[in-house]
Amino acid sequence: MSVTQQQVLDCLARVRSPRGVALTEAKVLSPVTVNDGKVFLSINVEAGEARAWESVRAQAEGALRALPGVSAAMVALTAERRPGAPADARSRGATGVAPAAAHRPPHSPAGSPMARQAEIPGIAAVIAVASGKGGVGKSTTALNLALGLRDLGLKVGLLDADIYGPSVPRLAGINQKPELDDARKMIPVDRFGLKVMSIGFLVEEDTAMIWRGPMVMSAITQMLRDVAWGTLDLLVVDMPPGTGDAQLTLAQNVPLKGAIIISTPQDLSLIDARRGLAMFTKVNVPVLGIIENMSYFQCPHCGTRSDIFGHGGARHEARRLGVPFLGEIPLHMAIRETSDAGNPVVVSAPDGPHAAAYRAIAAAVRDRLAGVTAT
Ligand code: ADP
């Protein structure tokens, strides 16, 4: 039997808050989402109080996970600076927790945005798949690219951080929820040999959630650090689309080895892609390259190719901007159908031309990463 909203609230009422009252009385809770055993909520406090609340967050999450009928629970802590509060509060990052100098990567000079990032134990490299706007096929590409990297013999994880529309569970046909390990950490779902984690395991893809920047960051930080990823060669992060504050904070706070930008050939999307590029450059994350998706139309019947969007824009733009062009993926029914049926093309037609295209891009990404790591 799945847990009810009332049972969740009763459980939270047993957690004490630093304000001396029960957590449910402290006026800090977001609405609670309870969905088929999955529980999600956030605790919203001011940045100056965040430290005092971290243990409450952990306690609340632990209590919920121990509740019968709860299959997964996430409690995010969001800390916002009051207008006029010292800038210092903000420099602690959206979770309100000051960055630990001891975790600073050795190559990151203090004061650079990279200095804020802490490496994730067990994960050799984290890369972001981003797009300037939604609907360009970012998630489809992230998933198939992760599978292409898997085919190269790498141990790969996929973190669906597209908090505004977490589509990876649907695209990968995942119906089960993550289980908990002995430490009550969520274990990513094993699918097609990938370790997959998504906020979509906790909330429905189309749940209209009003996510504010700090809440996004907090939820994603937890998915990065409080998940039993095990050992991975590479974690692919499917970023939320766009280049707003939430994306910038994410790019700044996740220890990224590099970023990949997905663009369609249309001009508008290329303008957006340029913004994406500028965003990563601003936070010193190397752009591994641009992938042109829906590059040309390939007729599923006769195989004829039509450049309906004026193909080649991304390649040209990449050259102009001095970033690598990683490859192109055609607009093809098979990609849409397989992806929407939860059986991505690299898995459903591993010997076909599309799988080969994704694998070629994966190899280019691996080589670029090796170059980035070597320098
Ligand atoms: P985004 O993550 O950028 O919002 P999605 O990956 O969810 O985009 O893709 C949007 C839609 O486009 C989906 O229906 C998907 O199946 C389809 N799609 C993505 N890439 C291709 C492609 N190369 N060919 C055909 N359809 C595609």
Q: pLDDT (tens digit, 9 = 90+) per residue, 231-268?
A: 999 999 999 888 887 788 778 878 899 999 998 887 66
> How far does the centroid of ligand 1 lie from the alpha carbon of residue 135, in Å?
6
Closest CA to 136 of 10, 30, 274, 269: 269
Task: Please tell me the residue having the least CA distance from ligand 1 atom 20.
Answer: 137
Residues 170 and 315 in one domain: yes
In this predicted structure, which of 185-199, 227-241, 268-282, 354-368 has the lowest mean pLDDT? 268-282
Residues 174 and 242 in one domain: yes
pLDDT in tens, 219-239: 788 888 889 999 999 999 999
In this predicted structure, the answer to whether residue 92 has a pLDDT above a threshold of 50 is no
Task: Please tell me the residue having the least CA distance from ligand 1 atom 17.
Answer: 336
In this predicted structure, the answer to whether residue 81 has a pLDDT above a threshold of 60 is no
| pLDDT average, residue stretch 169-193 | 89
What's 90's domain CATH number?
3.30.300.130
CA distance 115 to 104: 6
Q: What is the pLDDT of residue 268?
A: 63
Has this prediction a pTM greater than 0.85? no
The answer for residues whose C-beta is within 8 angstroms of residue 161's C-beta and 6 or more apart is 199, 220, 223, 237, 238, 239, 240, 250
159, 171, 339, best to mutate for ligand 1 pocket (most atoms within 8 Å of CB): 339
**How would you classify residue 306: left for phi > 0, otherwise alpha for psi between -120 and 50, otherwise beta?**
beta
Residues 183 and 69 in one domain: no
Last residue of a domain, one of 98, 118, 153: 98
Q: What is the pLDDT of residue 99?
A: 30
> How far does the centroid of ligand 1 lie from the alpha carbon of residue 175, in Å?
20
> Is 259 among the domain residues?
yes
Q: Indicate if ligand 1 lies below 6 Å from the C-beta of 329.
A: yes
Give CA angle at 119 (276, 127), nearest 5°: 35
Residues 147 and 293 in one domain: yes
Which residues span the domain enclosing 74? Answer: 5-98
Of residues 77 and 100, more confidence is placed in 77
> Is 121 among the domain residues?
no
In this predicted structure, the answer to whether residue 73 has a pLDDT above a threshold of 90 is no
Q: What is the pLDDT of residue 178?
A: 85
Encoded tokens for 115: 């200095």
What's 212's domain CATH number?
3.40.50.300
In this predicted structure, which of 98-107, 140-149, 334-343 has the lowest mean pLDDT? 98-107
Q: Ligand 1: which atom is nearest the Cα of residue 339?
A: 16
Residues 231 and 150 in one domain: yes
Residues 182 and 292 in one domain: yes
| pLDDT average, residue stretch 334-353 | 94
| pLDDT average, residue stretch 88-108 | 33
Q: What is the pLDDT of residue 164?
A: 79
Helix (H), strand (E), coil (C) string for the chain: CCCCHHHHHHHHHCCECCCCCEHHHCCCECCCEEECCEEEEEEEEEHHHHHHHHHHHHHHHHHHHCCCCCCEEEEEEEEECCCCCCHHHHHCCCCCCCCCHHHCCCCCCCCCHHHHCCCCCCECCEEEEEECCCCCCHHHHHHHHHHHHHHCCCCEEEEECCCCCCCHHHHCCCCCCCCECCCCCECCEEECCEEEEEHHHCCCCCCCCCCCHHHHHHHHHHHHHCECCCCECEEEEECCCCCCHHHHHHHHHCCCCEEEEEECCCHHHHHHHHHHHHHHHHCCCCEEEEEEEEEEEECCCCCCEECCCCCCHHHHHHHHHCCCEEEEEEECHHHHHHHHCCCCHHHHCCCCHHHHHHHHHHHHHHHHHHHHHHC
Q: Indicate if ligand 1 lies below 6 Å from the C-beta of 7.
A: no
Last residue of a domain, one of 98, 116, 141: 98
Report for 29-43, 75-89, 136-150: range of highest mean pLDDT: 136-150
Residues 179 and 316 in one domain: yes
Task: Please tell me the residue having the least CA distance from ligand 1 atom 27.
Answer: 336
> How far does the centroid of ligand 1 lie from the alpha carbon of residue 118, in Å?
32
> Is 188 among the domain residues?
yes
Mean pLDDT of the chain: 82
Q: Indicate if ligand 1 lies below 6 Å from the C-beta of 137.
A: yes
> Is 317 among the domain residues?
yes
Task: Please tell me the residue having the least CA distance from ligand 1 atom 13.
Answer: 336
> How far does the centroid of ligand 1 lie from the alpha carbon of residue 140, in Å?
5
pLDDT in tens, 283-327: 899 999 999 998 777 777 777 777 766 667 778 888 888 899 999
Residues 299 and 347 in one domain: yes
> Is 120 among the domain residues?
no
Asked if 68 and 37 count as a contact pair (C-beta separation under 8 A), the reply is: no
> How far does the centroid of ligand 1 lie from the alpha carbon of residue 308, in Å?
16
Count of domains for the chain: 2
Residues 74 and 184 in one domain: no
In this predicted structure, the answer to whether residue 138 has a pLDDT above a threshold of 90 is yes
| pLDDT average, residue stretch 172-191 | 88
CA distance 318 to 50: 42
Q: Indicate if ligand 1 lies below 6 Å from the C-beta of 205.
A: no
| pLDDT band, residue 373 (cuts 50/70/90) | low
Closest CA to 174 of 157, 156, 188: 188
In this predicted structure, the answer to whether residue 82 has a pLDDT above a threshold of 90 is no
Closest CA to 37 of 65, 9, 77, 71: 71
